Amino acid sequence: MKEKIEQILGEVKAFNAESKDALEAFRITYLSKKGVIPALFADFKNVAPELRKEMGMKLNELKNAVQEKVEEQLQKFESQHGSEADFDMSMPANEMKGARHPLSIVRRDINEIFEHLGFTIADGPEVEDDFHVFSALNFPPDHPARDMQDTFFIHKAPDVLLRTHTSSIQVRVMEQGKLPIRIIAPGRVFRNEAISARAHCIFHQIEGLYIDENVSFADLKQTLYHFVQEFFGEGTKVRFRPSYFPFTETSAEMDISCNICGGKGCNICKHTGWVEILGCGMCDPNILISSGIDPEKYTGFAFGMGVERIAMLKYQINDLRLFFENDLRFLEQFELA
């Protein structure tokens, strides 16, 4: 029996588990009720009385060795967990769960169309000051858009507010003083409005600004026409209606033929066959001057569109609130990453 114990002891000491499962198998082989160690203890009663002391000590040594081995190897696996040794860069990623938000899809697709035309993406802060949101864009001091009813003020003096449109990014880009300018600026905007199916206090816009020599209204029309054909499909009609914005002259709003009823008239287009998707115009020379740009040499156009409005048309969604409620039944319907 002594030789047998010595032999097993040698095996136990040499054991090195390759995996947690192998370690568990080892533990079961030696320590479980029907394992090697209990069997040896059962044999112990057959040992001659003069050998019992020595055998007893040997047996306990073996049992301790097995327990220590199990502990030691277990620690090895636990300390490896999450460490570099466990991190296999070549492993395929877990299956992607979830879908892109419809607003992200629409913003990405719009960005792409303008990037193909050579526009680059610009950015600006959501927390702004009166100058960049209003004054620099020619909003008179008593313009209703500045009113507390429309604008979320963080504090009044010095004025810190949430931008009500992405046109503030026009100012930020012009300030940098590099010409020509050809940017689009997607961003979140804030207006103090009651939340309903058609209005929300948070929404998204994409601003466009193009300033160079000889930029004309024809360029504006052609750029936006191209965008509409790409985004809504060939054959979508556009029309421009005269409008007013303090920072553009001339100003227009652009409608597209309702892509839901094909222009025949439905609830979405209020039976007119047309839906408005953006405001636009030629940059007012005063705006250029106040940004240090010579209006004799440079002209430009700008436009601003609502991302929610365009997403509603694309996906035929009739309630704006769905975009912000994070209801999985709504979100799961959109394309996977």
Tell me the sheet residues that pair with 161: 128, 153
Identity of residue 17: A
| Strand-strand pairing, 181-190 and 120-121 | parallel
330 close to 315: Cβ distance less than 8 angstroms: no
Q: Cβ 278 to ligand PHE, closest distance in Å?
A: 7
In this structure, the number of other CB atoms found within 10 A of the CB of residue 59 comes to 19
Q: Cβ 137 to ligand PHE, closest distance in Å?
A: 8
287 close to 138: Cβ distance less than 8 angstroms: yes
Q: Cβ 95 to ligand PHE, closest distance in Å?
A: 41
Q: Cβ 281 to ligand PHE, closest distance in Å?
A: 5
Burial of 8 from C-beta contacts in 10 A (0-12 / 13-18 / 19+): middle
Q: Which is nearer to ligand PHE, 134 or 274 (CB)?
A: 134
Q: Cβ 147 to ligand PHE, closest distance in Å?
A: 15
Q: Which is nearer to ligand PHE, 207 or 308 (CB)?
A: 207
Q: Cβ 171 to ligand PHE, closest distance in Å?
A: 11
Q: Nearest CA to 37 among 77, 67, 16?
A: 67
Q: Cβ 204 to ligand PHE, closest distance in Å?
A: 11
Q: Which is nearer to ligand PHE, 190 or 274 (CB)?
A: 190
Q: Which is nearer to ligand PHE, 171 or 258 (CB)?
A: 171
In the complex, which residues of this chain contact ligand PHE (CB under 6 A)?
165, 167, 207, 245, 248, 279-281, 302-304
Q: Which is nearer to ligand PHE, 73 or 167 (CB)?
A: 167
Q: Which is nearer to ligand PHE, 73 or 251 (CB)?
A: 251
Q: Which is nearer to ligand PHE, 62 or 305 (CB)?
A: 305
| Residue with smallest beta-carbon separation from ligand PHE | 304
Q: Which is nearer to ligand PHE, 102 or 281 (CB)?
A: 281
Distances (CA, A) of 41 to 5, 7, 37: 11, 16, 6
**Residue 255 and residue 272: Cα distance in Å, rounded?**
11
Q: Cβ 244 to ligand PHE, closest distance in Å?
A: 10
